[in-house]
Structures are given as structure tokens and as C-alpha cells.
Structure 1
């Protein structure tokens, strides 16, 4: 960790507590897609939003739908996700100690970024509400990386915007998608236990390094020497 220059954080469940109802969001997405002709049973709320969108695009292309129609469907799905996130913005709260830790890390010279699959406006407003917006060098939301988490391009692009090599960063998150993102990008990962689903957040894929919360990050980094 002697080469560590930047720290990238997931948002929901890592820096903030949120009440986004993802099940309802996905049900809205699936209902809309079935109205657009996606066969019933192809999509389920158990899938991630990324999988739902990718599956939808694949089916529409196989059916020979024009790109303009696919783009319009994706725009509507984006609106549905944005609505679900903004409906929950009033209930956003800081994971205990986060702002103080971010301030400490920034004063120590680390570059800081947020990489989330939520949309940018939601991320900015959530960070503003916990008083941490000014502590980040880069904030990236849905659609702002070449590919979303868990593809390697998400972390690689974030590192590039920080002016760093992926070997100079670590990534913190609260679920199995975050783990996969780090593994795919060959970036060290630190898991936190503040995810809304507890141990179930890892889907059986527990990270090698797991701390209670972001509040414990400075002491963990100091322990590495």
C-alpha cells in the first residue's frame, strides 16, 4: 500500500444509508419493458438493473428493433431509475463518521472519488446532504464510465480521471458487485459491513479484507505501515 495515492468509494451502503426501494424500481422497469414487448418471465427483480437493461437490449436487437427504439427504451429506463433514487433522497443519512474520515484522508494527501451506479444528480445531492460534496475530486454516476460496475473499465476510467494508475488506488464497497469490480480491474478491495443487506450483500463472495465501516479505514491503512 506504499504506492497508494487514491481511494475510490461506492456510495449507497458505503458512505451513506439510503432507503431506495430497488425491488419497486426493478418492478417498474420490468412492467414497462413487458409493455414494450419483452416476453414475461425473461426479467426478474432478482436481477441487477445492469442485467435487466443488458437483457432487454439483447432481446430487442434479436427482434430487429431499430436502434432509435432501443435508445428510447433506455432513456425511459433511466427515468424510472432516476425517479426511484430521487424519491429516497430525503432519507439519506451519513454512515457514522464518514465525513470526518474523508476530511482526514484528504488532509493526508489522498485523491478521493465516488463511483456509483446511481445517477449523478442523486450522488451529488446525497453527498451535499451529508456535508461531503467538497471532499471529492471525482464523482461518477450511472452512464459516466465506458462500462458500469462490475466491468473493469469503470474503475480504470475513475483512476484515469484522478490522474492515477489503477495500481495506485484502492476501492471500498459494500456488496459483491463492488468485489467483482475490483477483481476485474485488478484493484485492491476493502469491504465494509454497512450494506443494507448485511452478509447477504456479498452473495457468498466475501472479500479478503472486511472492516466494520469507512470510519475504520484510516486505522486499517496505518496498520499496513
Structure 2
């Protein structure tokens, strides 16, 4: 049975706890090519300035996405994820920080990756046991930056108010999901310009995960 804590922390995975080699540019290009080949978006569309999750949502909203085409897209995305996660390593101090935080907080992973890839990487790096649950794209109705995953996690402890939760991530998409999910956001090695461009206002910027031990 889970222990009852007053607060919870939601961690992004890639480039927050794990340093992976997922080629996100390749992933975006694969989605873009698939969508243009089947007429979901125009070949002149500026895919470089969008995230993979945004490109996926554009395909879903096009009205032309078939189940077969979506399956083909996820196959391409998953292959790129698996290749990049194969040699993932922990961010500096991740293990020691998580070991301390799990003694007084509910800890969750929230990732746009597939559950199987995330679980394998977390077990491989030895930190899977720190988390009550891995929330991956299979548990979300819409990927980050949508707050679907935040809502899913908060439903695990409905008696805890939004103010009891904090998300930690490196990207504006994590911050946007946190803000729209009404929880605090701490940016780990995040780029302030990217945050400002997308109207994300982190509670704090940190450069070292150990800073969380005095903040949370």
C-alpha cells in the first residue's frame, strides 16, 4: 500500500532524469513525411518549429487520420525512441536525489514516450522503484503540452489539492502541461527564452537536481 504523503512530484523523464539519445529531429521529420504523403498537412508546413506531440495532434485533428496510418506513425516513433533509449544514462545526482525525495513525496514519471520504452529505461538505470507509477502516452488522452497526464496523476490522489503538486522538467512542453494542469513547475536546465516564448513561467530554474532537496 502506498504511504500517504501531503505532496507529490511529477518528473519528466528525457533530459530531466535520464540523458537519452532520442533523435527528436528525426522523429519529427518521420511524422511530417508520413502526414504529407497522405495529405494530412501541406508539404510547405513548418514542421521544424513544432514538437513531435504537436505534429501528432495536427494529424489527429486533420480528419484524415485512419487507424492504420496512426499505427504506422506510432511504429516509426517507437523505433526511434527505442534506439535513443538503448544507452540512456542517469542525469547527475538523479539517483541520490530520488532516494531522498521518495521518503517524503509521492513520485511519478510523466513522459510522452511509450510505456514499454520508459519502463525499460528506468529499470536499466536502476530508478524504476522510486516511482509509484510511470505515466506514458498510453495513459494520456493527449500528449504534453496538453495537461491530460497531469490530470491522470492528480486523480490518483483526489484529496490532494493542486497546490500540493510540483512538476520538474526541462522543456516548455512540461511547463505548459503543468500550468494548464494547475500545478507548479520547476525548470531543470531549461531555456528561459523557450519558456517565455510559450508563456511558461517556472516557479524556479535549477541547474542541479540536488537543488530540489532544499526546495521541496
What are structure 2's unaligned runs of at least 5 residues? none
Question: Which residue of structure 1 lines up, in the alignment, with residue 83 of structure 2?
Answer: 87
1:167 aligns with 2:163: yes
Superposition map of 1:21-170 within 5 A: 21-38=23-40, 39-42=42-45, 44-59=47-62, 61=63, 65=64, 70-107=66-103, 109-162=104-157, 164-170=160-166
CA–CA distance in 2 between the matches of 1:152 and 1:57?
A: 17
Please provide the CA RMSD for this pair.
Answer: 2.1
Counterparts in 2 of 1:203 and 1:16: CA distance versus 1, 3 Å: farther
What is the TM-score normalised by the length of structure 2?
0.87
What is the TM-score normalised by the length of structure 1?
0.83
1:191 aligns with 2:187: yes
Asked whether the equivalents of residues 139 and 152 of structure 2 are also in contact (C-alpha less than 8 Å), the reply is no
Asked whether the equivalents of residues 111 and 162 of structure 1 are also in contact (C-alpha less than 8 Å), the reply is no
More displaced stretch, 11-20 vs 165-174:
165-174
Q: Secondary structure at the residue paired with 2:167?
A: strand
**2:205 equivalent among 207, 210, 215:** 210
For residue 201 of structure 1, report the CA deviation from its aligned partner: 5.1
Count the aligned residue pairs: 208
Asked whether the equivalents of residues 16 and 95 of structure 1 are also in contact (C-alpha less than 8 Å), the reply is yes
CA–CA distance in 2 between the matches of 1:162 and 1:123?
A: 23
User: Per-residue displacement from partner, 1:70-106 (whole Å, max 9, x unpaired)?
Assistant: 2222111111111111011222110111111111111
For residue 203 of structure 1, report the CA deviation from its aligned partner: 5.8
For residue 140 of structure 1, report the CA deviation from its aligned partner: 0.8
Asked whether the equivalents of residues 184 and 202 of structure 2 are also in contact (C-alpha less than 8 Å), the reply is no
1:182 aligns with 2:178: yes
What are structure 1's unaligned runs of at least 5 residues? none
Counterparts in 2 of 1:72 and 1:31: CA distance versus 1, 3 Å: same
CA–CA distance in 2 between the matches of 1:162 and 1:83?
A: 34
Asked whether the equivalents of residues 173 and 179 of structure 1 are also in contact (C-alpha less than 8 Å), the reply is yes
